[in-house]
Structure 1
């Protein structure tokens, strides 16, 4: 999605931000009005700029429906993510939410990973891998190859003089068969390493990340939680935090959230000899 220019005064108006949020979701004014139980005319007047003083009840209803902060709707901040969330909105248990925050991980690394254009594709591939979506198709393909080799095996008995040629053809067909998860794993590995290399290039070129939304979101969650000793936090906590953060911006079902947690954990647990990730974290591994 193209980033908006928040220096433009028009972009900072409530009318413009409500309209853009609605259009991003491809809703009509009537659909939005029905969702928040107000008259269509209220949304029309608001977006046209006719309504200059928006009521608190309408403002809160819009913020909840769009999952943004009221400050964002009022044009007071370019960051749309609310500073705090009710535990029930995260879809996580209270105990899981308590363990979300740590200071041991470089936030800029998480930002760059989440902002990379291929990150959604990586998540989709991993979801297919865990669901065996592609594996089922590969198994069917292998079965077709087996069907093709059966006549050759019969021909081998009927035409012994062509044994060498037939065996060569059978060997070639069998060599084209692949393991059910082999293709998935290779694609995941290739895209993951591509992401890491490109992030490394951006870090080397000192290219900044987008608006510092992660830090503000983390501060908001921390403020809503009871104090938790830092020594009790683990990599599992970090993976849950990443999934929760992404879930604030993009709707995710439980299985997708779990998939993202597994991906974050695998990345954080890469051994130190993985030089490229070490560079990302700003460490000199010698």
Structure 2
């Protein structure tokens, strides 16, 4: 569903959406918990009554806004979502709503083509996967440095051991290092 539609009322929008999604009145009725005859009477104009609950369910079935169904806007994109649908905590939604979180940055993050990659990195940060990886890397560098110093007493070996030691990364600063590369 791309772009905007021509102006229309709820009956016209329902007909357009059913045609577009190849859904019959009977199928729509089943999906929203109504009867085919109730949908038919409404779409044909024999009745003007449709419950708010059915309107909300129709919007969810077609993944459009209720404003679009009602003909208030010509773009079907939903602008209002339940917090649970989005998977946000109440506190996260409150932070966005009150401006404690920068909505522009959140939008840029969500729209980024690298969103999945970035969220994976954040997930690793929160579950300490990155810290554990860098701790392991640091341990390996410590071992290598010790081996260089112990097995070879030349100036080149000592310099190599120092170079190896400088490559260690503080485990909780690893996320900054990754972002810089």
Give the alignment's TM-score, normalised by structure 1: 0.35
Quick check: which has more Rg, 1 or 2?
2
